[in-house]
Chains A and B, each alone.
Chain A
Amino acid sequence: MMTLFAALASVVFGAMAKDTTQERVVYGFKVFAEFMVIGLVLAWVLYFIP
């Protein structure tokens, strides 16, 4: 579900940012990766907090 969320949000962010198609695709993937990494890091941090 987190992956699906990240994919949908990164499509929107990627489509509306930058100037060229290539830049948009790269930015979309970058945002997707950031969502995933931050989500996983937060999940592990919260796992250790009672």
Chain B
Amino acid sequence: MVKTERMHAGTAEPIPGFAWLIGVLAWFVPGLGHLMQKRWWRGLLMGGAVWLSFFIGLAMGGHMFDLNAPEGSSQYLQVPPMIANLGTGALYIISWLLSYGFADDPAQAARATYEYGNTFLLIAGLMNYLTMLDAFDIAVGRKP
């Protein structure tokens, strides 16, 4: 019996493919991972917070980061904030494809809300990573 218990403890249960799909979709469209699992309120609250934060950030004149470093700066310094921004999934990708929200010109930087906007955009991505992990945990069965 002890041997059987040890064997059970040693083998981790495989994560179903559905959970990985939920994780990817939750990253790509904020809130979708919860909505697909019928966690309506949690999806609306968490996804809604990400969407709101993203659009408020853009409205404040914030800008997102990509690998194009401004003059006098290293490309590597762009990577950490880019990873944070990339958390918003499709919102980031669509903005990048449309070249919207990436301008970092002096006129925009002079706006009083510029830095606040940047922060809201960064936080939107980071919050969506948390939302994605929460949706994944629900799909795996680690959370109710």
Residues of A within 8 A of B (CB): 1, 4-5, 8-9, 11-13, 15-16, 19
Residues in chain B within 8 A of chain A (CB atoms): 42, 45-46, 48-50, 52-53, 56, 113, 116, 119-120, 123, 127, 130-131, 134, 144
Known: A5-B120, A5-B123, A19-B144. A12 touches B131 (CB 8 A): yes
Which of B45, B113, B127, B131 touches A1 (beta carbons < 8 Å)? B113
Contacts across chains A and B counted by CB atoms under 8 Å = 36
B52-A8 in contact (CB<8A): yes
Contact check, B131 vs A4: say whether CB atoms are below 8 A apart: no
Q: Which residues of B contact A5 (CB under 8 A)?
A: 119-120, 123
Choice from A4, A8, A16, A19 contacting B134 with Cβ under 8 Å: A16
Contact of A16 with B144 in the complex, beta carbons under 8 Å: no
Assuming the contacts A8-B52, A8-B123, A9-B123, asked whether A15 and B144 have C-beta atoms less than 8 A apart, the reply is no
Chain B residues lying within 8 Å of A11, measured Cβ to Cβ, are: 45-46, 48-49
B134 adjacent to A1 (CB under 8 Å): no
Which residue of chain B is the closest to A10 with respect to CB atoms?
A: B49
- Who on chain B is nearest to A13 by CB? B130
Contact, CB under 8 Å: A15 / B116: no
A19 to chain B: closest CB distance in Å?
7
